[in-house]
A and B are shown apart, each in its own frame.
Chain A
Amino acid sequence: MQKYSIFNLVKNALSNHENWDLAWKDPTPKKEYDVVIIGGGGHGLATAYYLAKEHNITNVAIIEKGWIGGGNVGRNTTIIRSNYMHDDNALFSEFGMDLWRKMSQDLNYNVMFSPRGIINLAHSDAQMNVYARRGNSMRLNGIDAVLLNREQVKEIIPMADFSENVRFPIFGGLMQPSAGTARHDAVAWGYARQADSMGVDIIQNCEVTGFDISAGKINGVRTSRGDIKVKKIGLCVAGSTNILAEKLNMTLPIETHLLQACVSEPVKPVLDRVVTFGAGHFYISQSDKGEMVMGGDLDGYNSYAQRGNLPTLQHVLTEGIAMMPFLSKLKMLRTWGGIMDMSMDGSPIIDKTHIEGLYLNCGWCYGGFKATPASGWTFAHTIAQDRVHKLNAGYSLERFNTGYLLDEKGLGTKTWIS
């Protein structure tokens, strides 16, 4: 594989950039692999990469029904953070933050990680207390957290509405300075390119249609491009988890819901942080191109549509305008949606299953982009060693039976209001 470097850039310029290697190949599926990863989203690609890099397992195929990066990894609003209260979530996410900081070097691919900080706004005294508590929990776990008062918030984001007579006045906020954003496509492509270079087969336009299981053990997968023999399968299909679970005769604590996002026309730099509204569900950041990137609530009913309805968008943008009135002047450029694997406690599952050789990675809700490196790393460990790592021990499927739920927001099992 050619390294991406200034030297190679200059060298290739001499031949009009016509001789670069393909970033990854387009192989035909082999008859047999050691591990098959289903789903070429961020998590599947990262898992394959860490299987090869950390565990020397390279006879691996990623089976993707569409094209890599066509799922949620290419549809999200790219917020990366570890501002969690529960230990399992906090330690897992902070481990991920460390991988994010090193990712561009590690992958030799500029993922444009931008630790610009995230501010969660508070709109009441009670909310300030809750944020103080969350901030303290974060700091106990070694994560940076700063509680800001109204004046401090105003200094950072003066364009927010600080007038007195508003329905949800800004009391202050909780900031994680090390949080930020990254270029989502680059993350998928960077992992794909490195995994490919270590021998992983990235097989696109190939749908998994069934499983070959006997005596409780995985023997293979059926795909639209033929049967493949394999003893270990990692399921990383995000919003399609329930569809494949049915083929495995499993019913999971997951529902599939739709989340929309949108971007405005590009404008000059105005917002250099990620900001979330605390009296509803709205978040915003500005992309390098200048677009305001915005999102909020789920559409609110089970959906596989991959495109949203207007009432939710209107609701979300109304919150945005309440928080930052200047947004009402902007024209909307694009809206889109992705289907989310909403788990019943809002936390993910990375675990073995009762079927030998079947490993489960799902339940990412709307926060799975930031988890991409840590999820891939721990899932690769779980598959390679056939046991969970301590970082993902809390993400067991069993917790729904034992009661050790990880409900960060305390919302209960109504996934559609999460």
Chain B
Amino acid sequence: MLYIFCPHCGMRSQNEFSYGGDATVKRPELNKEVSDKDWDNFVYNRKSLRGKHWELWQHISGCRQWIKVERDTGTHEIFNTLKADEEISK
């Protein structure tokens, strides 16, 4: 069982959340010409490595907000959580 700290509600069990995938993927800007390669990278291509991974979770059985979670994909240790609009600091 994972325990995820929701920045809005506090520490809650994984059962209250649903997963939303890699949080670092950025949709290409629409006001400029987007190459096929950029679309591919946005829609399909993922690094998905072992180690620290920023990902989206939605607190569906709580505040229903999307949040960002930094988790280790090998050990499941959670290092950090952010509100959806907070920038991930490198």
Spell out A's residues near B (CB within 8 Å).
Answer: 242-243, 246, 251-256, 300-305, 309-311, 344, 400-401, 413-414, 416
Contact = CB atoms under 8 A, between A and B. Distances in A.
A242 B53 CA distance: 13
Interface string B26-59: 0000000000110011011111111001010000
Contacts of B47: 242, 246, 251
Contacts of A243: 49-50
B59 to A, nearest CB: 14
Nearest to B2: A309
A366 to B, nearest CB: 16
Contacts of B55: 301-302
Nearest to B57: A301
B73 interface: yes
B1 interface: yes
B76 A305 contact: yes
A305 B19 contact: no
Given A305-B74, A401-B36, A413-B43, A311 B48 contact: no
26 contacts: A242-B49, A243-B49, A251-B41, A251-B45, A251-B46, A252-B46, A253-B44, A253-B45, A253-B46, A254-B46, A255-B21, A255-B22, A255-B48, A301-B19, A301-B71, A304-B50, A304-B73, A305-B73, A309-B2, A310-B1, A311-B1, A311-B15, A344-B43, A401-B37, A413-B44, A416-B19
B79 to A, nearest CB: 15
B89 interface: no
A243 B73 CA distance: 12
Q: List the 8 closest A-B pairs by CB distance, nearest first.
A: A253-B44, A251-B45, A304-B50, A255-B48, A344-B44, A242-B48, A400-B44, A301-B19
Given A309-B1, A311-B1, A413-B43, A302 B48 contact: yes
B14 interface: yes
B75 A305 contact: yes
A255 B46 contact: yes
Nearest to A303: B73
B2 to A, nearest CB: 7
Nearest to A343: B44
Nearest to A405: B44
B48 A254 contact: yes
Nearest to B14: A311
Contacts of B22: 255, 302
A104 to B, nearest CB: 37
A300 B46 contact: no
A249 to B, nearest CB: 11
B49 A252 contact: no
Contacts of A344: 43-44
Given A246-B49, A311-B15, 10 more contacts: A251-B47, A253-B45, A255-B22, A256-B73, A302-B55, A305-B74, A305-B75, A309-B14, A311-B14, A401-B40
Tell which of A246, A301, A304, A344 has the most Cβ of chain B within 10 Å.
Answer: A301
Nearest to B69: A301
Contacts of B75: 305
A384 to B, nearest CB: 29
B6 to A, nearest CB: 16
Contacts of A300: 19
Contacts of B21: 255, 302, 414, 416
Nearest to A344: B44
Contacts of A303: 73, 76
A305 B75 CA distance: 6
Contacts of A305: 73-76
Contacts of A253: 40, 44-46
Nearest to B19: A301
A1 to B, nearest CB: 38
Contacts of B2: 309
Nearest to A402: B36
A300 B71 CA distance: 14
A275 to B, nearest CB: 27
Contacts of A401: 36-37, 40
Contacts of A242: 46-49
Contacts of A252: 45-46
A153 B35 CA distance: 51
